[in-house]
Amino acid sequence: MSLFLIIDILGTISFSISGVLTAVKKRMDPFGIFIIAFATAVGGGTLRDVLINAPVFWMYDLRFVYVIAGASVLAIIFRKKLGYIRKSLFLFDTIGIALYTVIGVEKGIKAGFPPLICISLGVLSACFGGVIRDILSGEIPIIFRKEIYAAACIAGAVAYFALQYTPLANNFIVFISGGIVITIRVLAVIFKLRLPTLYSAEELKD
C-alpha cells in the first residue's frame, strides 16, 4: 500500500468522522448521518477528479466506500467516547484538511498542471467536502467565515509544492506540509486569529 493511498484513506476516515459528528449534533437520523459523512469524505476529492478529468476515486476503488461506512458506524457507536463534540469535530476536520491538501497537490503534480493549479487543487480537495457538509447541515461554511481555514490549506499546499525542489525525502515533505496546515489551524483557534473583515461593527450587528 503506497504512502498516498494510506494518506487518502486516513483523510477519508477523518472527514467521515467529522461528518458524523456534525450530523449527530444536528440530531439527524442514521440515513442523514451517513449522507453527511459520505459527502464530507468524498466531496472535495470528487470535484477535484471531475475538474482534472480523472476517474472519480471512490467509484473505481470501493475501499473508500467501505472505509466511510465503517468509520461512520464506529463514530456513531463511540460518539460519547469522543469527548466534547465541538472539540472532536475540530480535531478530525483539521486532520482531514491537512491530509487532503497534500493529496490534492500531489494529484495536480502527477497530472502535469502548473503550480497555481496544483495548489488550488489541494485547497479544493481539502475544503469542498466541509463546504458540502456545512451547507447540508444548515450552517455557513467555515471557509466563508473569518476563520483561518483555507489560508492554512494554501500555506500547506505551497509548502508541499515548494519542497518538491529540495533534496528532502517525500515522506518528510508530506509530514512537514500536513504539519503546517495543522499548526496554522490550531494556532488560529488558540489565539483567536481571524482574517480581516470588510464590515464595520455596525454592519455586523444588522
Sequence-ordered list of residues with C-beta below 8 angstroms from that of 94, at least 6 positions apart, any chain:
181, 182, 185, 186
In the prediction, which pLDDT does 1 show? 72
What is the number of other CB atoms lying within 10 angstroms of the CB of residue 93? Answer: 25
In the prediction, which pLDDT does 174 show? 96
Residue with cell 449527530: 24
| Model pTM score | 0.92
| Residue ranges, the chain, pLDDT below 70 | 83-86, 199-206
Measured CA to CA, the distance from residue 128 to residue 104 in angstroms comes to 12
